[in-house]
Structure formats: structure tokens, C-alpha cells
Structure 1
């Protein structure tokens, strides 16, 4: 029955999603040109609020839980499991005061209205997985901005999406680079549940009436720990929260 509703509601979802990213593309450009980073950042926050609201068209729900008192005067590295592309708008919107930037595939930085523009101009690290030197340079640039501008970052250390919700082993690479270059960074795990169900049938139809959740877990102070220990702690905490 949920799949049947997916056939009915998915076209409406995609229509609204497409309208939103198309309309916000020129708005982002205007905000960036006239108001600089601050105006562009506010525009991106509003964009992602609209995008996560489209989930409700499918009868899906978003529950974002953050009981942690996270500082705003130091950079944060948010480490999350990755289940679908729909993981992203709630992270951006609900954690917007931390100025989080994504480490993403370079392929996403072109061809997608609004989303590609933000990745190119919003401070993300757009990495080419086939070019290690380019990837390291992008992550180093992000790390320098985190240190100088007090930005935060989001990273999915599994590398690819867990299409059945089962967590894959976490990679240390990108996290280790940021830990080394941003000595005062705070590591914060985020557990994402059930967003994979939204795309369990693939691109079409999308699934319906799915209860999705994002939970910010207790921070990890990396001082005195090796990158492997930090990643192991984050992975363990996230695994304990996954349904």
C-alpha cells in the first residue's frame, strides 16, 4: 500500500522539489552578489527548510533531536552515517547556526540547480575520488576555513550510502586531515535512521509514510586521542542508535 501511494505522490514531490531548487538558484546568485556570504548563507538555510518540508508530501516525517549544548565559538566536525541524499537538508537547516560545510563528490557541484551552486560557492570541499591530490587539497582548504572562519563541517565517513540502512565501516582519511589541521575542532556524531526507506524502491516510486530521525549524540573531545580512536568512538555511538 505504501508503494502504491508512492506512485501517486512521488510526481507531486518531484514537481515541488524541482520548483524549489529552480526558483532558489537565481535567488542564491542575487544574495551572493549583493549580500555576500551572510546573505547567501541565509538563503541556503531557507532553501533547505523548504526542501525538507517536501518530505511531508509523501507522508514522511522528520524528527530532529539535539539535546547537546554545542558551542558556537569553535568549529565542529559532524560525523554521520549516510543513508540517502535526503539526509542532507535536515542537517543543514537544524544545525544552521554552526555554518556546516559538506565534503561531497565533485560530480554534485555541477548540473543541479541551487544544490550545485551552493556546493561551488558556499564553502564545500568538492572532491574527485579519482584524484587523491585534488581531494586532499579541497579538504585542506575546508580545514583552513574552519580554523580561520569558525566554520563547521559534515562528513559521511562510510564513503557511500548504506542503501539498506546497515552501517558500513567508517573511513579515517578525511577526518584525520581535519583533526590535524584544526586542533580545536570538536567531533560530534549524528545518527540518521530510516532515510534509506524513502528510496528503498529507487528513484521512483519514493516510499511513503516513513518516520525518519536525526539525533545529535554527545560530543567527542579529540585531544589526546588518535584519529582511529576518534572515528571508532563515533562509529560505535552511531551504531548503538541505528534501528
Structure 2
């Protein structure tokens, strides 16, 4: 039934999703040129709120749960598992007050309306995974902004999406650099559940009626600990909280 309904509603979802990306590309450009960083960021926040709303077309519920009293004015490193591209909009919208920037693949900065523009001009660290020097330089620039502007960052330490919900091992990589270069950073794990099920049949059809959640877990103070220890604790917390994936 989920697959059958997916054939009907997936084209409608993609229509709304795509139109929003096309519409907000020039809006972002205008906001950046006329209002600078803050106006541009506001346009990106609104875009991602609306993109999250398109999940309803697929009968899906996107629930963001944050019962933690996270500090503002302090850089935060949000660490999450990664299941699909649908992980992104709820994170951007619900973490908007923390100025959270992604560590993303360089390939995404080309050819995708709105998304590519934001990655290039919104402060993300866009890394070439084949070029260690370039990747390190990008993350160091983000770390400097985190220190100076009190920005935050979002990273998926698995390195790639888990298409079946099973978590891959976390790699230190960019997480380790930020933990070392931003002394007052707070690490906050986020567990994502259910978004892989939306794409269980691939990009078409999407699965109808899936329930998805993003849950902010207890923050971890990195001070006095190695990056490996801190990341391992975050990985364990996310793995422990994650619901075992449903069978296809």
C-alpha cells in the first residue's frame, strides 16, 4: 500500500519540492545582495521550513524533538547519523538560531537550484573528499568562523548516507579538527529515525506515510578529552537511541 500510494503522490511531492528550489534561488541571490548574510540566512531558513512541509504530501510526519536547554552564543557541533537527503531541511529549520553550517561534498555546490547557492555563499565547508589538503582547509575556515562568529556546524560522521538505516562507523575526520580548533565547542548528538524508509524503494516511488523524527540528545562536554573519546560517546548515544530499522 505504501508503494502504491507512493506512485500517486511522489510526482506531486517532487513538483512542490522542485518549484520551491527554483523559486528560492533568485530570492537567495536578492537577499544576499541587498541584505547580506542575515537576510540570506532568513531566506534559507524559510525555504527549508517549506521543504519540510512538502513531506506532508507523502503522508509523512517529520517530528523534531529537542528537550535540551542548548546554549546560544556558544559554538555547537551537531553530530548526527545520516539516512537520506530528507534529513537536511528539518535540521536547517529547527537549528536556525544556532547558525549551523554543514560540512558537505564539493559536488553539491554545482547544478542544484537553491542548495548549491546556499552551500557556496552561506558559510558551509565544501570538501573534496579526494583532496585531503583542500578538505582540511575548508574545515579550518569553518572552525575559525565558529570561534569568531559563534556559528555552529552539522556533520554526518558516517561519511555517506545509510540506505537501510544501519549506522556505519563514525570517522573522526572533520569532527576531530573542529573539536581541536574550537576550544569552547559543545558537541550535541542528534539521532535521525525513519527518513531512510521514505526512500526505501529508491527515488521513485517514495514510500507513503512514513514517520520520521529528529531527536536532540544530551550534550557532551569535550573539554579535557580526546576527539576520539568524544566522538565514540556520541556514536554510542545515537546507536543506543536509534530504533532498529524496519524490514522492507
TM-score after normalising by structure 1: 0.99
Q: How does 1:119-130 map to 2 (within 5 A)?
A: 119-130=119-130
Name the CA distance, whole Å, in 2 between partners of 1:64 and 1:230: 24
The alpha-carbon deviation at position 106 of structure 1 amounts to 0.4
The alpha-carbon deviation at position 173 of structure 1 amounts to 1.4
The alpha-carbon deviation at position 236 of structure 1 amounts to 0.5
Name the CA distance, whole Å, in 2 between partners of 1:30 and 1:85: 26
Structure 1 unaligned residues grouped into runs of 5+? none
- Where 2:166 maps in the other structure, the secondary structure is coil
Structure 1 residue 96 corresponds to structure 2 residue 96? yes
Corresponding pairs, count: 243
The alpha-carbon deviation at position 241 of structure 1 amounts to 1.1
Structure 1 residue 158 corresponds to structure 2 residue 163? no
* CA-based RMSD: 0.5
What per-residue deviation string (whole Å, max 9, x for no partner) do you get for residues 42-77 of structure 1? 000000000000000000001110000000111000
Structure 1 residue 173 corresponds to structure 2 residue 162? no
TM-score after normalising by structure 2: 0.97
- Where 1:191 maps in the other structure, the secondary structure is strand
- Where 1:72 maps in the other structure, the secondary structure is coil
What per-residue deviation string (whole Å, max 9, x for no partner) do you get for residues 82-113 of structure 1? 00010000000011000000000000011000
Structure 1 stretches of 4+ with a deviation exceeding 6 A read: none
Name the CA distance, whole Å, in 2 between partners of 1:94 and 1:173: 25
Q: Which residue of 2 aligns with 1:25?
A: 25
Q: Which residue of 2 aligns with 1:186?
A: 186
Name the CA distance, whole Å, in 2 between partners of 1:94 and 1:160: 22
Structure 1 residue 233 corresponds to structure 2 residue 223? no
Name the CA distance, whole Å, in 2 between partners of 1:25 and 1:63: 27
Name the CA distance, whole Å, in 1 between partners of 2:214 and 2:208: 18
Name the CA distance, whole Å, in 2 between partners of 1:173 and 1:109: 20
What per-residue deviation string (whole Å, max 9, x for no partner) do you get for residues 17-62 of structure 1? 0100000000000000000000001000000000000000000001
